[in-house]
Amino acid sequence: MSAPRSARRVLGPAPEAGALLDVEGFRTHFETPAGTVKAVDGVSFTLERGQTLGIVGESGSGKTVLARSIMGLLTARNVQRSGRVAYNGQDLVGASKQQQRALWGTEMAMVFQDPMTSLNPVMRIGRQITEGLRYHLDLPKGEAAAQAVQLLESVGIPDPNRRINQYPHELSGGMRQRVTIAIALACGPKLLLADEPTTALDVTVQAQILDLLNEQQRERHMAMILVTHDLGVVAGRTDEIAVMYAGQIVERAPTRTLFSSLRMPYTEALLRSIPKLEQPSHTRLSIIGGRPPDLINPPAGCRFAPRCPYAQAKCHTEPPPLVEADTPGHVYRCWFPVGSAAGLEALERNLAEHNPAAEAAATGDAAAAAAVEG
């Protein structure tokens, strides 16, 4: 299995032209009695083979729904997908259940947030790994078991021969997440979707799991979508970052560009809310005041406007389009972008008018942040 893959790396670009995953104007709406929840509302991006895309956003921004509905895992009757998702040139939105299932496991796989619930509690570790191998690759029992041991070894589980006969509850959280990664990798997918793979884990284990994902990705020349709410997690590990807010991508840029010249006030606010080591102890954490908007009736203008320190009258009425920045591959949605003259002016005007969002951003004052409506 690994032979053709390494050959491809030597030869340079993959023989199949075009991106591995091409998402264009993708929408996922939920029909509910209260109205249509626009959980994902017009998302576009492309992902090349072997590349990593980080999707960042706070709770309720639609990042998990995006990851799951790209794969087609949301099966409830009230889910409506529209737009275009092309995997290797094959359309996924209009694909039948059977066509989609044929891709799951072998072409694309998913690692879930909570390893406590994503493993079957009454099935041995070994069988949970071999299930997929035997089902998809038709491996005989012994061969599948041998490969399970190999997989466990490759994800850094010591004594895999003993572990395959254990049940999930006999393993620690970090170990379990390693097992779920092994299960996801078992059939050699070309795209791995990791949905907050470290959120449920101890901080010390988080880095190990992320390193493991990166290492496996490099070895297998696999593309990865890393969903997280923590900008720190994606900082050194992704090629590109997409920041999501209220179902939309509000800024997308190569990782280095995003951190050096971010444009979107929301990205700035997210970045500011990460505690820094050089700050003295007892420094108040900076927070983003207010709450994410109602996805049934999103704000008419910019969706972040009610909480934005830069927001002007225009922001509340006209939705900003996704525009390109000076640096290549960098797009954002903002009328008064950070670092521009217009943005600076807008912030100063808001400060002069004692706008709570602007004051909270300038002073880090929690009381001001609490006054933000939204």
Partner 1 sequence: MTDIAATALSAPDMPSPPGTSAPAARHNGALGFGGWLSAIWLTVITTSTIVAPWLPIDDPRITDFAVPNNSPIGKAGHLLGTDQNGFDIFSRLIWGGRVSLIVAVGVLAIGMVVGGSIGLLAGFWRGKLEILLMAIVDIFLAFPALILLIAIVAFLGADLTNVVVGISLVSIPAFARIARATTLTFSQREFVLAARAAGATNRRIILKEILPNVLLPLLAFGLLVVGIAIVAEGSLAFLGLTSQETISWGGMINGGRPALQRENIAHTAMLPAFVMFLTVLAVNFLGDRFRAAFDVRDAVL
In whole angstroms, give the CA distance from residue 336 to residue 265: 9
Rounded distance between C-alpha atoms, residue 218 and residue 3, angstroms: 14
Q: In Å, how far from its chain's centre is CA 242? A: 8
Of the pair 104, 259, the CB lying nearest partner 1 is at: 104
Q: What is the helix (H) or strand (E) element at residue 152, kind and residue range?
A: helix 141-154
Binding site for partner 1 (CB under 8 A): 71, 73, 75, 77, 101-106, 109-110, 112-114, 116-123, 131-132, 135-136, 167-169, 180, 183-184, 186-187
Q: How far is the CB of 162 from partner 1 (least distance, A)?
A: 18
- How many CB atoms sit inside 10 A of residue 97's CB? 9
- Amino acid at residue number 167: Y
Query: Residues 57, 77: contact at Cβ < 8 Å?
Result: no
* 97/282 with CB nearer partner 1: 97
| Cβ neighbours of 311 (radius 10 Å) | 25
Nearer to partner 1, 193 or 372 (CB): 193
CB of 1 to partner 1, least distance (A): 17
Q: CA-CA distance, 102 to 44, in Å (whole number)?
A: 24
Instruction: Name the residue nearer to partner 1 (CB basis): 179 or 246.
Output: 179
Instruction: State in angstroms the smallest separation of the CB of 121 from partner 1.
Output: 5
Q: Which residue do the tokens 């050194």 mark?
A: 236
Q: Nearest approach, Cβ of 246 to partner 1 (angstroms)?
A: 24
Q: Which amino acid is residue 180, in one-letter code? A: T
CB of 112 to partner 1, least distance (A): 5
- Please, what is the minimum distance in Å from the beta carbon of residue 319 to partner 1? 33
Looking at the Cβ atoms of 109 and 302, the one nearer to partner 1 is 109
Q: Which is nearer to partner 1, 178 or 252 (CB)?
A: 178
Q: Please give the full DSSP string across 260-319, using - where no structure is assigned.
A: HS---HHHHHHHHTS--TTSPTTPPPP---S-PPPSSS--SS-TTGGG-TT--HHHHHSP
